[in-house]
Amino acid sequence: MSDQTPNPAPSARRSILSTLEVDTRLLGMIGAFVVIALAFQMWTGFKAIPDVMNPIAWFSEGRFMTPRNIFNLSIQTVSVAIMATGMVFVIVTRHIDLSVGALLATTTAVMGMTQTQILPNALGLELGHPLIPWITILAGLLTGALIGGFQGYLIGYQAIPAFIVTLGGLLIWRNVAWHMTDGQTIGPLNETYMLFGGINGTLGVFWSWVVGLLAAVASAVGLLLARRNKVRHEFPVKPVWAEGALIAIVVAAILGFVAVMNAYSVPDRVVARDFERWGCEVAEGCTAGYGIPYSVLLLIAVAIVMTIIAQRTRLGRYIFATGGNPDAAELSGINTKLLTVKIFAMVGVLCALGGIVASARLGYHTNDIGILDELRVIAAAVIGGTALAGGVGTIYGAIIGALIMQSLQSGMAMVGVDAPYQNIVVGFVLVLAVWIDIQYRKLSGAK
């Protein structure tokens, strides 16, 4: 019989994590992103000074974790992340949508034609008219909702498998977009519309700090109110120190993100063109930061709305109940056919929102816009922990999954990895993420 006592470290770690009520999947995804960021920071530093055998120098000379790259990474992630939030609901209900990239192309074609040809020719509105962008966006959202709802009707009421309907949609809507534009690039687009693209539309330093502080206060208040509600209903709560630590982490993350966005300086030549826009009285000596892009704010708004739908509404409960056991959900009175229509219509609207960001960032509608986005969106949702078996998925997980995907692609492009090899790595990561999810479920006893 051994006199050795068991090592208390693992149980202590588990106790801390359980006390903080930390989502281990979320922690794992954040850890994966940090590892990717550090790896590419070192790699780009080594590429800059290959003759210096000093890891610290490599890290300091790296380009991946600079404010400029993080800013660009954030605006590049938005379009896929917006659509991935909808893909979570699709996969949770045991369906799949292969048409999101093509649907994005169709909605951007509609919006491009609306603002450059339909409204000017039909109503005599010039491209700079203040109503142009909002009518355009409304047309795109309605188009996405109608197409998505129609596909949902075929799946829900006509019992055609989602794989077949959306595979057909991939072929149909991509070529509908081509037909609408005669295969031409449509643009330039309205200036107000292009504010949603990223670098053309940002809050600036001052308003970014205002928004960041308001978000930090709102997050802290929300966590405290949630704790008070648990106490009122006699649910178990975290210790005060754990609640304080969580609030501190959330506030630090928000303010840290704002600081990084503000640290990306506007080039002097750009400031000189319109120095008053950047809060300067004269162009000489004026320095300014971009701040938070409007497209990132749009993603945050979408994430909040989709999270509320998932966690606080009857629709969200029906979605997860149907994904957990479709037969039981139908027997309990849930109209699963209508639910399918609603989910795919919602995805159509999100494709239109993603299309706004994508086309505004380019400044044009192009024939190849959204190509392979369906694979990126599905990969983001799966990497973010959405189970292909249905019933399990989170909105924040899909967004972090999209960020991980974009980080891999951006980092590999920065170090000179050819596009075919980038796709090989992304495919390997997707398979690895599913394997890890399966192993996690086996170990945790989750279904």
Q: Are residues 194 and 88 in the same domain?
A: yes
Tell me the whole-structure pTM to 2 decimals: 0.91
- Mean predicted confidence (pLDDT) in 355-361: 94
Q: Percentage of the chain with pLDDT > 90?
A: 51
In a domain, 319, yes or no: no
At which of 11, 32, 65 does a domain end? Answer: 65
- 303 in any annotated domain: no
Same domain, 80 and 168: yes
In a domain, 129, yes or no: yes
Determine the residue type at 212: G
179-190 mean pLDDT: 89
Residues 192 and 255 in one domain: no
Model confidence over 31-62: pLDDT tens digits?
888 999 999 999 888 888 888 778 888 888 88
Q: For residues 277 and 155, state if they share a domain.
A: no
Among candidate residues 231, 264, 292, the one where a domain is terminated? 292
Report yes or no on 317 lying in a domain.
no
Whether 1 is covered by a domain: the verdict is: no
Of 77, 295, 342, nearest to 193 (Cα)? 295
220 and 190 belong to one structural domain: no
- Name the 3-class secondary structure at 186: strand
The chain-wide mean pLDDT, for the chain, equals: 87
Assess whether 265 and 361 both reside in one domain.
no
Q: Is the pLDDT of residue 285 over 70?
A: no
Residues 41 and 83 in one domain: no
- Evaluate whether residue 310 is within a structural domain: no
Distance CA 392, CA 381 (A): 11
Q: How many residues does the chain have?
A: 447
Q: Which residue has the tokens 């055609």?
A: 160
Same domain, 438 and 350: yes
What CATH number did the domain enclosing 120 receive? 1.10.3470
Range name among 189-198, 326-335, 436-445 with the lowest pLDDT average: 436-445
Same domain, 338 and 194: yes
Same domain, residue pair 190 and 73? yes
pLDDT computed for residue 2 by the predictor: 46
Per-residue pLDDT band for 230 (boundaries 50, 70, 90) equals confident
- Domain range for 215 is 202-292
pLDDT at 249 over 70: yes
Instruction: Let me know if residue 351 belongs to a domain.
Output: yes
Pick the closest to residue 301 from 85, 147, 17, 33 (CA basis).
85
Q: Which of 52-56, 179-183, 244-248, 367-371 has the lowest mean pLDDT?
A: 52-56
Per-position DSSP letters for 309-348, written without gaps between them: HHHHSHHHHHHHHHHH-HHHHHHTT--HHHHHHHHHHHHH
pLDDT at 140 over 80: yes
Q: Record the tokens describing residue 64, joined without a space.
A: 């991946």
Per-residue pLDDT, 76: 93
Amino acid present at 226: A
For residues 386 and 265, membership in a common domain is answered with: no
Number of domains in the chain: 3
188 and 83 in one domain?
Answer: yes
Q: pLDDT tens, 428-438?
A: 888 887 787 77
- CA within 13 Å, CB half, 175: 6
* Any domain includes 54: yes
